Amino acid sequence: MNMRTLRVGLWATLLTAACASTPDHFYTLSALPDSAREPLSPPIVHVLLNVTVPALVDRSEMVVSTSKNGILVLDHERWAVPLSEQVSQTLARDIEKRRGDILIGDRGFDQASSPPVTMKVDIVRMSAQRGGQASIEAHWRIVDASAGVDEIGSAAFEEPLGGEGYASVAQAYSQTLSALAGKLAEGVRRR
């Protein structure tokens, strides 16, 4: 074995060991506001929520923007569960915290006397720039057949990152989703 091959092998081993020793950090989104949900108050509106998230960010690794057309996929900064699942759960809890008459769940909650409200939310853009801000752009449709309502809406929400760490990305996304939840809660008619 020549000296060059030995050096290349040594460097490869050292790099592999360095990568293997970097710990993973996991993040979650938070339902906001932090206050407890108010008790359910009849009549209860059952909402079926369907949320889509762009494939670019719907991965276990956190993704941050580096420029207009550049991103950085962070191998060791990860979402604790799939981002699309977290976004959907966070929006559901945020909406429920705002309205004591809304219950978001699957078809198992259907009531024969009152069909559920369907809410389709398409997150068309979700990005964060380290040291900058997190932003989401969403389109939605709320259909309440019993009230004859079929509304379409869209909005963009931005929140500055509160720090340099990646936990600030998760917190800023939580705040943008909270703002979106406020809009969605307003769109559901009281019964």
CA distance 125 to 57: 9
Greater confidence (116 vs 33) lies with: 116
pLDDT of residue 21: 65
pLDDT of residue 106: 76
CA distance 58 to 37: 28
Using the predicted structure, report yes or no on whether residue 105 has a pLDDT greater than 80. yes
What percentage of the chain exceeds 70 in pLDDT? 85
CATH, range 3-186: 3.40.50.10610
Instruction: Return all residues near 189 (Cβ < 8 A) that are at least 6 apart.
Output: 45, 144, 147, 149
pLDDT of residue 40: 79
Mean pLDDT of 115-124: 95
Q: Is the pTM here over 0.75, yes or no? A: yes
Residue found by looking up tokens 């600030």 in the block: 168
Kindly state the helix (H) or strand (E) to which residue 3 belongs, with its residue range: helix 3-20
Per-domain residue ranges of the chain: 3-186
If pLDDT is split at 50, 70 and 90, which confidence band does 14 have?
A: very low
Asked whether 122 and 139 are in contact (CB, 8 A), the reply is yes
Instruction: Return all residues near 98 (Cβ < 8 A) that are at least 6 apart.
Output: 181, 182, 185
Mean pLDDT of 149-156: 96
If pLDDT is split at 50, 70 and 90, which confidence band does 5 have?
A: low
